[in-house]
Amino acid sequence: MSDVLVPEILSYDADDLAARTGRIVVLVEGSSPATPAARRLDRLTRGAVGRAMASEAWGRVKPGESLELAYPAGLGASALHLVHLPRRADLAAARKAGGTIARLYGAEPVLAVIEGHPRHGELILGLLLRAYSFDQYKSGEKKAKAAVSLMVADVAAVQASVTAATALAQGVFLTRDLVNEPANVLTTTEFSHRLTGLRDLGVHVEVLDEAELERLGMRLLLAVGVGSECPSQVVVMRWNGGQAGEAPFALVGKGVCFDTGGISIKPAGGMEEMTMDMGGAGVVAGVMKTLALRGAKANVVGLVGLVENMPDGRAQRPGDIVKSMKGDTVEVINTDAEGRLVLADVLWYAQETFHPKAIINLATLTGAIIVALGSEHAGVFSNNDTLCNAFLKAAAAEHEGAWRMPMGQAYDDRLKSRLADMMNVGGRDGGAIVAAQFIKRFIKDDMPWVHLDIAGVTLLKGDTPTAPKGATGWGVLALNRLIADTFETAPKAV
């Protein structure tokens, strides 16, 4: 797994600043040095900090961004970076500031003087998240990177924030690593092997093989993977941190480790990105890791359906009719609409086996949601306003974009089949909604449920303030917050 950069925590020492080499970062706001560290650095640089903060250039620096003073007189440092972070800055600005510091991580040591900033916890999380790197397949000598240190007023308080942020970052990093891995490495077998490693953290992990899935009647899921040499599997992860016997909250993830589209094969252009079609399962894995690392006081079960959708002489065909674990039959019109088949069986198994108090599933399900929402928001579909609003609130608090989409009988009617109980598609227009309606058919009437279509937010072509280009880990932070707020502390009815 990609390593989490854990900064060294130092007690604030004004006398240590002059001799520091490498890069120094100081948090400032307004148009003049106000904090003890900023005033100290202003004196050491003979007023350079104050002149910079009074300049027109500083006026263009947004919260979370920085202005660099190269080779400042009076300091041993090669550069002094003024990071704009007001004490009343919001979460996004604080994380962006941390990401700005992380971008300096390289050959030179970095000392960030954050003193007693009230947003230090969010800054640290932003630093950890933006320092992520996935470069294990790049050949050549990798240059060692110098240390990052934080100079603070209260070492104990900041150390506690580092511990909390590290638990979150490790969950996000697991998700990012899984999404970034190539399909020839992250087979269904390798995926389940990595998840069994969560046992070391106290997570109970069970792997259901094809024989067990056949016995259970998960023939929709098995039909998706029948054309692959990789065996289909379902992995069940249980974190029992709540009251004994209390019904768990359930997370279910689509884990298509590679999606060619099957017999309804996709165009060649962009197919290489279908290594990310297990993104929903990756998020579930990341959440389970974070819950274990922070010792969440909740019962949570995470289930992922792991398959590979390949064209083969044995692969399912358009027109096939397959029976689900629930007992309903599905006419497969398009074999590239496979994720909903995987989810249908795993969701039914989750309800029948664990009787959860609520359930959320995640999937890189449709291109239609990307057309609707781009890469800014995941699509949110639900049968329960209370659960849906709780998730939307958690996502907004974590600045993970999420937008509720409509559902309705007219969309559901488009799934009617002449030969079976339903078809797996219902036309191109409104495709993300029709897909959600298909999944809803496998949710029991009294079960609070949210479906998250994360196709647009899982893998980005550019970097963000807290993530480099590639896998984002979207959803780990929001779901962790939802569990903490709704199912862990003074649980609310859903």
> Catalytic residues, which ones?
266, 340
SS3 state at 2: coil
**Dihedral sign, Cα of residue 373, residue 377, residue 381, residue 386:** negative
* 8 Å CB contact between 481 and 394: yes
**Dihedral sign, Cα of residue 184, residue 186, residue 192, residue 197:** positive
In order, the DSSP letters of 155-185 are HHHHHHHHHHHHHHHHHHHHHHHHHHS-TTT
Q: How many CB atoms lie within 10 A of CB 63?
A: 17
Q: Which candidate, 382, 347, 340, 332, places its Cα nearest to that of 363?
A: 340
Q: What angle do CA 376, 378, 382 make, to 5 degrees?
A: 150
Exposed/middle/buried for residue 114 (C-beta within 10 Å: 0-12, 13-18, 19+): buried
Exposure of 414 in the CB half-sphere (CA atoms within 13 A): 18
Distance separating alpha carbons of residues 312 and 38, to the nearest angstrom: 66
Helix 279-294 × helix 188-196 angle, to 10°: 10
Token readout for 45 is 């640089």
**Cα separation values, 57 from 69, 236, 415, Å:** 12, 54, 58
Q: Which candidate, 363, 308, 62, places its Cα nearest to that of 185?
A: 308
- Only one residue has tokens 């854990």, namely 6
In 48-89, alpha helices (H): 48-53, 56-59
Q: What angle do CA 91, 287, 297 make, to 5 degrees?
A: 90
Q: How many CB atoms lie within 10 A of CB 193?
A: 13
Give the containing element (helix H, strand E) for 196: helix 188-196
